[in-house]
Each structure stands twice: as C-alpha cells, then as structure tokens.
C-alpha cells in the first residue's frame, strides 16, 4: 500500500473511531437520563440550547482555535422537574438560595488526564453576583464553565470557585470512561454515588 492510500485509510479509521466514541457517550448520557427520570425527584436533563451537551468549541482558523474544532470535553446537567420550566424547547432553571444540580462531565482528551474520564456529582451553593446581568438561569453557567474549566474543576472532589459574576461549590466523583461498560457499572459508579452527593447537600 502506498503512502497516500495508507493516509486515506488511517483518516477514515480515525473518524470512524471518534464517531463511534461519540455515539457510545451519547448512549451513556441517555441511559443515565432514563434512570434519573424514575427517581423520586423526577430528574430531567437541562436544555440550555436544546437537547444536547454543552462544550467549548470553535470553527476559527487561528491555530489556537483549531484544537477546539473537535469536541473533547462536554457536560450535561440534571435537575428535578419541579425546579425548572420549559420555554421554546429550552429549560429555564432559576438560580436561588437552594440551587443545586446533578452534573455530568465527560473528558475524552485533555492535557491533565491520561485517558477518557467521567465526572459526576453535585453542584450546589450556586450564586450569581448582582453585577452579572447576563446570568439569569443556570443554563447560562454551563457554557461559562467550559471557558474556565481549568479553574473550576482543578479539584473535582471539592469544588469551591467564585469570581466577579458567580460562585459555585460541588463534589464530583471521577471514573475512567472505559470502565463504565454496562448498566451495573453505570448504576454503581455514577448514578448511586451522584444521587447520594446530591441528597446530602
């Protein structure tokens, strides 16, 4: 096989693998969503921009932006049905003194991790500062977190972050993505410990 044919084959294999990985992650999120709907709190997935994940991305041609063409890190959150409302296919989760959400973060590739990881748990004591006029609902924070993720999630076991716009606290459990390979693992390693953290706070 000549170099050109080998390059074509490797390109096709790489894209095929990434697409399968994304599909598997989407199935994981949907399975978690299905189980959480049956809990006493009747959790639903937050829809900040519709039914999807939140990620930092770019289509810019500047070399610093090319690394953001591909989704490497993304997140979703779950909230009890009675703690949010829907308008135009999007959820509106108000920030108040009792705000807390179940948070699920997937990191497929990052300089700080050696292999794909899943982080799950609770974000609580979520507060907006008076000057933060842009911050009207928790959904606004999902994208914001992606831009400052290295600051917020530097210690996932004990999150404590505040800036001029907001404050958030939380606890996330970390698991290796490829160790979550069946429904029992999803329940024992992600859902049960995450619910325990949510109900503790």
Q: Is position 89 within any domain?
A: yes
Instruction: State how far the alpha carbon of 69 is from the alpha carbons of 24, 37, 61, 65, in Å.
Output: 20, 33, 9, 7
**pLDDT(151) > 70:** yes
Instruction: State how far the alpha carbon of 65 is from the alpha carbons of 32, 57, 151, in Å.
Output: 32, 8, 20
**pLDDT(124) > 70:** yes
pLDDT digits (tens, 9 = 90+) for 23-55: 999 999 999 999 999 999 999 999 988 899 999
Q: Is position 9 within any domain?
A: no
The closest alpha carbon to 45, from 21, 27, 29, belongs to 29
Over the chain, what is the mean pLDDT?
A: 94
CA angle at 100 for the pair 115 and 90, rounded to the nearest 5°: 85
Q: Is position 1 within any domain?
A: no
Report the 3 state secondary structure along 3-30.
HHHHHHHHHHHHHHHHHHHHHHHHHHHH
- Model confidence at 138, in pLDDT bands (50, 70, 90)? very high
Q: Is position 18 within any domain?
A: no
Domain around 194? 27-200
Q: Is position 78 within any domain?
A: yes
Q: Is position 19 within any domain?
A: no
Provide the domain count of the chain.
Answer: 1
Q: Is position 73 within any domain?
A: yes
Q: Is position 17 within any domain?
A: no
The closest alpha carbon to 168, from 147, 193, 141, 134, belongs to 141
């Amino acid at each position: 096989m000549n170099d050109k044919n080998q390059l074509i084959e490797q390109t096709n294999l790489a894209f095929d693998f990434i697409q399968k990985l994304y599909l598997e992650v989407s199935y994981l999120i949907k399975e978690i969503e299905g189980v959480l709907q049956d809990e006493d709190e009747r959790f639903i997935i937050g829809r900040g921009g519709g039914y999807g994940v939140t990620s930092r991305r770019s289509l810019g041609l500047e070399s610093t932006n090319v690394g953001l063409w591909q989704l490497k890190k993304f997140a979703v959150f779950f909230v009890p049905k009675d703690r949010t409302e829907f308008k135009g296919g999007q959820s509106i989760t108000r920030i108040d003194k009792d705000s807390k959400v179940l948070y699920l973060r997937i990191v497929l590739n990052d300089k700080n991790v050696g292999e794909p990881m899943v982080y799950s748990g609770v974000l609580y004591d979520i507060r907006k500062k008076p000057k933060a006029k842009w911050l009207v609902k928790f959904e606004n924070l999902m994208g914001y977190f992606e831009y400052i993720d290295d600051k917020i999630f530097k210690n996932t076991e004990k999150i404590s972050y505040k800036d001029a716009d907001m404050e958030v606290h939380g606890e996330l459990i970390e698991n290796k993505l490829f160790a979550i390979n069946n429904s029992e693992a999803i329940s024992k390693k992600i859902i049960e410990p995450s619910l325990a953290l949510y109900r503790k706070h």
